[in-house]
Amino acid sequence: MTAYGLLALAVAVEVIATLSLRASNGFTRLGPSLLVVGGYAFAFLLLSLVLQRGLDVAVVYALWSAAGIVVITLVGVLWLGETLAPVQVIGMLLIVVGVLALELGARVHA
């Protein structure tokens, strides 16, 4: 699997783990709690494999965290009934632009 494929899988696993935090009810429910701990451990394992394939740690972490923020936010809005203020949408867009700048800068610098 490519580095970016592993990174996408790491994001998906992290999103599942993060959503399980809510279901764990403060780590009082065993199943969701195991998903949280196991999911984050697996996501970091995947991130280590991405780094092994030669991508810069700053770019990998920025992509992973930004993608997680955007996906979790969309899940919250679309399926959990959460709302976003316009300033929050602007903030997410700034995060995405910042990560794109990191990625482009890494490619130009390489």
Q: What is the pLDDT of residues 57-91, one digit of tens each?
A: 988 998 999 999 999 999 999 999 999 999 999 99
What pLDDT score was predicted for residue 44? 96
Inform me whether the pLDDT recorded for 106 exceeds 90.
no
For 20-55, what is each residue's pLDDT tens digit?
Answer: 998 999 999 999 999 999 999 999 999 999 999 998
Mean pLDDT of 90-99: 91
pTM: 0.86
Q: What is the spatial distance between Cα 36 and Cα 22, in angstroms, rounded to a whole number? A: 10
Which residues neighbour 89 within 8 Å (Cβ) at sequence distance 6 or greater?
A: none
